[in-house]
Chains A and B, each alone.
Chain A
């Protein structure tokens, strides 16, 4: 896997969400991702960044353009130092939420992107990595 472009953004306030989404869109446009795939990626990113703000009061996101097996895509890594997730299987279930939300954030984001990886330990923060390929597969 080759990383072609890399950028890091700090997310600490709710106002950082819109500029972050625009940056993700920029990355998608740069590799010629179709509108639907861009929308899916940005929506997933929006869900994840919102989770980060809500449960860990912020963190940082690494945005990368990657190339692997002749496929180009955007990889986003969301890192926070919040309380972590105790039961990952439960958190990935539709409709489950410890906050007052629809509980679609994590499972929904997973459905929107091609690759999804979540690492978390209680007390040690959470890292979510998602990859969406240019052609959405």
Chain B
């Protein structure tokens, strides 16, 4: 049976979806991912959908489910690389993926997860981090 590979990268899991998902494949992915989160104790899940040209409400629900389920197991989910046409369509459809984090690409998604985990690996050169919120 066809499966989408899930890669483990340090504390994170990475899935790159490169085929048009039909329902069974999407449900298998949901299953596999959640099992992997529980087995590896991963702290974050990155789902790269840059090669996906269509996201309908079913697929949107799967993404939302993965995020909610992971959160219960203390892992954050970031959907990365959504195509502009897909984003415009989803908004028109009425689906804004509440509760799912988004990032432009895998690299930025990773950064986002690191910040969320309070892991300051990326902040080496940002010593003068002096948040100035006067303007808020």
Binding site for B on A (CB under 8 A): 14-15, 17-18, 21-22, 35-36, 38-40, 42-43, 46-47, 50, 94, 101-102, 104-105, 107-109, 111-112
Contacts and interface: CB of A to CB of B under 8 A. Distances in A.
Interface stretch (B40-48, B49-57, B114-122, B124-132): B49-57
Contacts of B83: 39
Contacts of B86: 39
Given A36-B85, A39-B86, A111-B92, A14 B57 contact: no
12 contacts: A21-B54, A22-B20, A36-B89, A39-B85, A39-B88, A43-B56, A43-B89, A43-B93, A101-B61, A102-B95, A111-B92, A112-B93
Nearest to A22: B20
B99 to A, nearest CB: 13
Given A22-B20, A107-B94, 15 more contacts: A14-B24, A39-B89, A40-B88, A40-B92, A42-B54, A43-B55, A101-B57, A104-B57, A104-B95, A105-B57, A108-B92, A108-B93, A109-B93, A111-B93, A112-B92
Given A18-B22, A104-B94, A107-B94, A36 B57 contact: no
B57 A15 contact: no
Interface residues of B, number: 22
A18 B2 CA distance: 15
Contacts of B58: 46, 50, 101
Interface of B: 20, 22-24, 53-58, 60-61, 83-86, 88-89, 92-95
A46 B22 contact: no
A39 B54 contact: yes
Contacts of B53: 39, 42
Contact of A102 (B20, B22, B23, B57): B57
